[in-house]
Amino acid sequence: MPTLITNIKELLQIRDGSLSRVSGTEMKTLPTLKNAFLLIDDGLIKDFGKMEDLYEIQVNEVINAQGKMVLPTWCDSHTHIVYAGNREGEFVDRINGLTYEEIAAKGGGILNSAKKLQQTSEDDLYKQSAKRLDEVIKLGTGAVEIKSGYGLTTEAELKILRVIKKLADNYPITIKATFLGAHAFPSEFNNNKEDYVDLIINTMLPKIAAENLAEFIDVFCEKGYFSVAETEKIIVAAKTYGLIPKIHVNQFNSIGGIQLGVKYNALSVDHLEVMTTEDIETLKNSTTMPVALPSCSYFLGIPYAPARAIIDSGLPLAIATDYNPGSTPSGNMNFVISTACIKMKMTPEEAINAATINAAYAMNISDTHGSITKGKKANLMITKEIPSYGFLPYAFGSNLIDTVFIDGKQI
Ligand code: NIG
Ligand code: FE
């Protein structure tokens, strides 16, 4: 039986089903309908329109959204939420003056998380991760991409990917899995890095493909991590198993990761804190979505991705949380939207587009998610009473999400 939402103060992000992403000046527009209704049936958006055009219909529930906005749930296209424990100690080390790179160089960072995860059982890892997922769904996230990458051994990488699969089986939201075995070199491979790349290619990838545990391939392409040549080797091998690249590039240095991503039709290139004009040029005429991670910049105190330069050059932009224990221990998309506006000078319309339709594109789900479109999933949020949608980024730190619907069901 259908559910009807009535008296919606403003229904946001109404799009044609054929639209998969918005770019450049298009991002400044957020199509809306004031004083609207929305009809949910069979988990999907069945219809919507102006209240004055509402017709007689049999429903089993009517929700009055007087004074409230309705919008599609956020898509979080870049997270690492399957991790063990935390890195609060390193947080304090950074407060006391060490840099992220200095901490990593002395065995902290990703290797610290990998050690913890290797010692954590699959059940316990599932429980810790499920708690994080529960939290972000309540904050309005209706689809999430999750990466491996805190295992760094065949066994531990498979453990993470199996946990991701279990989360996907047990939770109603859409979950996409990414294999990020190339997140850091384990210290035992310090003097023979090629061997770790070979382990990824010859052992991990075939097992992951055999169990169908990932749809995307990711590599941390960065000085001190994986070079462009190593990244290329891994991407090429992963493509033979049908994995689509979505890669970490340009977090601290511009070393050619964007050129590589575009060359191999990466679905997205993520981070982008350090961008050259050539990087921006390369992204033009590509199908690759640039993805910025504002709360990572906030937490680490590193530069923000130059959103204005990216959007003003005509490119699309998506935003995501990067939820992980080291650089972003938060999965709050509402904070990401505020930070995108406050620190990256994106308008509320641009930020909402970046976190819905463009974010859906960055995880290959824009045919079902990311907009108010008839036939798309009824993954929706009702806000609290707010004067305008600009209040979502403006009132940073407040939780303005009242109700979340996944597949038409209230969470
Ligand atoms: O996306 N930059 C690479 N990976 C993660 C952080 C890794 C960590 O510090 O645990 C990121 O920021
Ligand atoms: Fe990341």
| Confidence label for 100 from pLDDT (cuts 50, 70 and 90) | confident
Site of tokens 């090629």: 194
Domain end, chosen from 326, 341, 361, is at: 361
Domain range enclosing 259: 78-361
Number of domains in the chain: 2
Average pLDDT of the segment spanning 132-148: 98
The answer to the question of whether 13 is labelled as a binding residue is no
Please indicate, yes or no, whether residues 89 and 154 belong to a single structural domain of this protein: yes
CATH of residue 58's domain is 2.30.40.10
Residues 254 and 318 in one domain: yes
pLDDT, residue 1, reads: 78
Distance (angstroms) between ligand 1 centre and the Cα of 401 equals 28
CATH of residue 201's domain is 3.20.20.140
**Centroid of chain to Cα 94:** 25
Per the annotation, does 78 bind a ligand?
A: yes
Element (H, E) at 277: helix 277-283
* Residue 326 known to bind ligand: yes
Same domain, 25 and 157: no
Digit-coded pLDDT (tens) for 297-333: 999 999 999 999 999 999 999 999 999 999 999 999 9
Burial 202-218 (b: 16+ CB within 10 A, else e): eebbeebbeeebbbbbb
**Which one-letter DSSP state was computed for residue 395?**
S
Q: How many CB atoms lie within 10 A of CB 89?
A: 11
- Read off the tokens for 279: 């990087």
Phi, psi of 383 (to 5 degrees): -80, 170
Q: Which residues surround ligand 2, an ion (CB under 5 A)?
A: 322
In DSSP terms, 180 is beta-bridged to none
Between the CA of 213 and the centroid of ligand 1 the distance, in Å, is 21
Answer yes or no: do 167 and 281 share one domain: yes
Q: Count other Cβ atoms within 10 Å, centred on residue 115.
A: 18
- Give phi and psi for 346, each to the nearest 5: -85, 145
Question: Residue 366: inside a domain, yes or no?
Answer: no
- In 55-206, where do the E strands start and end? 61-64, 68-72, 74-76, 141-147, 174-182
Q: How many CB atoms within 10 Å of residue 190?
A: 9
62/82 same-domain check:
no
Clarify whether residues 66 and 138 are in a common domain.
no
Average pLDDT rounded to a whole number, residues 224-234: 97
Side chain identity at residue 195, one-letter code? D
Q: Is the pLDDT of residue 40 over 90?
A: yes
**Do residues 187 and 42 both lie within one domain?**
no
Q: For residue 222, give the ligand 1 atom closest to its CA.
A: 2
Within-domain flag for 134: yes
Two tokens, residue 69: 């906005």
Say if 291 falls within a structural domain. yes
At 36 the three-state DSSP class reads strand
- Judged against a pLDDT cut of 90, whether residue 107 lies above it is answered with no
Same structural domain, 54 and 193: no
Q: pTM score, two decimals?
A: 0.96
Tell whether 283 is covered by a domain.
yes
Q: Are residues 83 and 64 in the same domain?
A: no
